[in-house]
Amino acid sequence: MMSPHAVDRCWKENGFANEDAERLLICHLVDGSVIGDVVHFAAARYTTAREIGWTMADVAMRGQGLASEAASLLVDYVFGNWPVNRLSCGMSVHNHASRRVAEKCGFTHEGVQRGILFVNGEYVDAHALSLLRSDWAAARGSR
């Protein structure tokens, strides 16, 4: 797992870090160790839409619903504090766990973006999903 400082450095080197992005760490409740993170940032300059993402870097902590919980909290935080109508997220078509996380958070699958991600030396397709504020509000009302 990369340290938070190494992740920050990688983000800056690859152009992901800017004043608009907000990255929050997921920490273990018992020992405080960093086990993952969630992030949100502007999806494009011409819209207020935001993109979110998550990582569970500690492999031992995967499969316990922690990414789903953290992503759900991030969705609530962004819709509760930012003037946005739409959130989006994307992941490799091979990342079935992340797609399940998005769907648990209420995201709707919109399609596949061909060859958009560069992973392990090759371009791969990615799922594109979105969540509108109205869908989020309706789901919150039914909880």
Decide if pLDDT at 14 tops 80: no
Which residues, in sequence order, are CB contacts of 80 under 8 Å at separation 6+?
none
Give 46 or 142, the one with higher predicted confidence: 46
Q: What is the DSSP string of 126-138?
A: EEEEEEEHHHHHH
CA 55/CA 11 separation, integer angstroms: 13
CA 126/CA 115 separation, integer angstroms: 7
Mean pLDDT (whole number) for 29-58:
88
Q: What is the DSSP string of 40-61?
A: EEES-TTSS-EEEEEE---GGG
- For the record, the structure tokens of 9 come out as 């450095």
Residue-level pLDDT at 106: 97
Domains of the chain: 4-141 (3.40.630.30)
Tens of pLDDT, residues 16-30: 556 678 888 888 888
Which residues, in sequence order, are CB contacts of 57 under 8 Å at separation 6+?
1, 2, 34, 35, 36, 37
Mean pLDDT (whole number) for 61-83:
92
DSSP element (H, E) containing 6: helix 4-13
Decide if pLDDT at 143 tops 50: yes
3-class secondary-structure state, position 118:
strand
pLDDT band at 1 (very low <50, low <70, confident <90, very high): very low
Residue-level pLDDT at 92: 95
